[in-house]
Amino acid sequence: MREGIFDKLKKELPDIKKDILLSEYTTFKIGGPAEYFLITTKEKEIIRAIKIAKRLKIPIFVMGGGSNLLVSDKLIKGLVVKNNIKEPMVLMKNNIIKAPGGIVFGKLVDFSIEKSLQGLEWAGGLPGTFGGAVRGNAGAFGGEVKDSVLNVRALDNNLNVRKLSNAQCKFSYRSSVFKKQNWVVLSASIKLKKGEKKKIQEISKSHINYRRERHPLEYPNAGSIFKNVDFKEIPLKFQKIFLDKVKKDPFPIVPSAWFVIGAGLVGKKIGKAQISEKHSNYIINLGGASSRDVLKLIDLVKQRVRKKYGIALEQEVQFVGF
Ligand SMILES: Cc1cc2nc3c(=O)[nH]c(=O)nc-3n(C[C@H](O)[C@H](O)[C@H](O)COP(=O)(O)OP(=O)(O)OC[C@H]3O[C@@H](n4cnc5c(N)ncnc54)[C@H](O)[C@@H]3O)c2cc1C
């Protein structure tokens, strides 16, 4: 049966492969084999692959840079498509850039700087693809994707290509309509402002350096494990402990790292996974960590933080195949 499906897929998508280890494609270096795996480099290929998988009734998972994923070590059933679309970025009139969803976000940041356009410098050092960032409304250093998006072209679940305005994207903290509806971001246009190249470059570089100094980038990881906590959600009796930790990014929040520290879990190891001592909202893979090691650590943090502070931490990383 499996062979039959693979043969059918192979006939229509000659580059498709089977049993490809996803740990090769995630920044965590964790993840079991994808039953079927395809890297797409053109928009029409990704649309075709999704259409074919739907026709054959096999599950589909679209990934970008794999920088926000915890993938199970077990077989990931169905088709995993890695969006690697490298169609060119285009500078249009009025400081608008149109870019494909599969482009590495860092390349888009570099392109905007090259054109002396400001508005993306907050994203210096942010890994992953532009499409992944639009879907999750990625943000850092006071900026978010939603601040620059003009419109997005996306593939909906009925395989229609839709063009959505910024308002229609329903961006919110680390979320969007694409995340809620599971639509694929094909491309998007962003509107930036003319600026001073050197200044923009310096700000972007300072963020890259900040990340190098403060984040455990020397180990495989998936960025922040937990979303930061809305200050309003903190029970009144604990609010004053965290008053001096509040950041307005993008609204008054307390970084989750403080709750991990408060729960006494910094440096805690399970198997080969560890809560980073450099940044306690990161879990690092010390080499050969299993998805279960990470999952157990995540559960432990959630339990302890709930018990101590009555706060339900929500993970920012996306779970795949559990
Ligand atoms: C060291 C490090 C630092 C990080 N710092 C930050 C940070 O400061 N701020 C922040 O917000 N994030 C941060 N992240 C998380 C991550 O980089 C972002 O979430 C990034 O935008 C994810 O993009 P990706 O292409 O890697 O997505 P993936 O990890 O491949 O996928 C994540 C989710 O997006 C979906 N997806 C991917 N591409 C598309 C698409 N084209 N259309 C629709 N859905 C898609 C996938 O199905 C999956 O559900 C960090 C990660 C790391 C490893």
Whether residue 100 has pLDDT greater than 60: yes
Token couple for 11: 């006939």
Task: Write out pLDDT tens, residues 206-260.
Answer: 999 999 999 999 999 999 999 999 999 999 999 999 999 999 888 999 999 999 9
Q: How far apart (Å, rounded) are the C-alpha atoms in residues 254 and 264? A: 17
Candidate from 30, 47, 68 with most ligand 1 atoms within 8 A of CB, to mutate: 68
Do 2-83 and 90-211 come out as alike in CATH topology? Answer: no
Domain 216-320 fold is: 3.90.78
pLDDT grade, residue 3 (50/70/90)?
A: low
**Residue 64 DSSP SS3:** coil
State in Å: Cα 146 to ligand 1 middle. Answer: 15
State in Å: Cα 236 to ligand 1 middle. Answer: 33
Q: How far apart (Å, rounded) are the C-alpha atoms in residues 18 and 75? A: 11
State in Å: Cα 156 to ligand 1 middle. Answer: 19
Whether residue 175 has pLDDT greater than 70: yes
Domain 90-211 fold is: 3.30.465
Q: Which residues does ligand 1 sit against, CB inside 6 Å?
A: 27, 62-69, 83, 101, 126-129, 131-133, 135-136, 138-140, 178, 184-185, 215, 217, 221-223, 318
Residue spans of the domains in the chain: they are: 2-83, 90-211, 216-320
Domain 2-83 fold is: 3.30.43
Whether residue 170 has pLDDT greater than 90: yes
Q: Which residues form the catalytic set?
A: 174, 224, 316
Whether residue 1 has pLDDT greater than 70: no
State in Å: Cα 75 to ligand 1 middle. Answer: 22
Q: What is the pLDDT of residue 249?
A: 82
Task: Write out pLDDT tens, residues 36-67.
Answer: 999 999 999 999 999 999 999 999 999 999 99
Q: What is the pLDDT of residue 301?
A: 98
Q: What is the pLDDT of residue 228?
A: 96
Residue 69 and residue 63 in contact, taking contact as beta carbons nearer than 8 Å = yes
Task: Write out pLDDT tens, residues 131-154.
Answer: 999 999 999 999 999 999 999 999
List the one residue out of 132, 155, 130, 142 whose CA is nearest residue 53. Answer: 155
Token couple for 46: 């990704």
Candidate from 126, 179, 282 with most ligand 1 atoms within 8 A of CB, to mutate: 126
Q: How far apart (Å, rounded) are the C-alpha atoms in residues 185 and 239? A: 38
Residue 133 and residue 99 in contact, taking contact as beta carbons nearer than 8 Å = no
State in Å: Cα 171 to ligand 1 middle. Answer: 15
Whether residue 2 has pLDDT greater than 90: no
Q: Which residue, by CA, sits nearest to atom 2 of ligand 1?
A: 223
Q: Which atom of ligand 1 is nearest to the CA of 127?
A: 17
Q: Which atom of ligand 1 is nearest to the CA of 102?
A: 41
